[in-house]
Structure 1
């Protein structure tokens, strides 16, 4: 053995010389085949594809991602609580101030709280009127 090999310390991140990968040998020889697409690239390609839709009687050609955003906003405005929550999450995530905190960790703004309270009040009105009728 040479002097370099004697001084070689085996430990974390330093495997024994005999068990290290040989030069030019891959750690995952089966691996992902060349040319195969990742899930992210497949989704991006699909969402960038065009679709035609009618909006206020006018036929528009938009990307599927734009159509998805239009549907999310329309459903939120129609009163769907799930769509409203998702829309607010997306707004905080993509349009909010850039920060290192996760969008789930961020406190709601006063405007968000007012909007949610107004929505909850409207959502509960029919139920409370029904309960009074039943009594």
Structure 2
């Protein structure tokens, strides 16, 4: 053995020179593997893709997610209860809390309770007749 071999520090974190990567060569030549494709990523990509929409006579480029959000809000404003539920569930928490506070109103008087009860019974009867 030569003096160079003896003076070379070999141990944890210091491999022998013959086993080290040559200068300019990566220790991971193929790189990091690509992430697996799953449904959530595919849906996210689709929602981010742009489509052309005509709104108030103007062409707009919106993401599909924005189009869905606009459609849901429009349906909710027209009285679609399912759309309203979906919109309120998708609202950020800071907007839901004031809605919850607004719902904590005083109890209904007997007349209001009767009107509400009749409305609900008519809605149920109407939904049953459609089935």
Which protein has the larger Cα radius of gyration, Structure 1 or Structure 2?
2
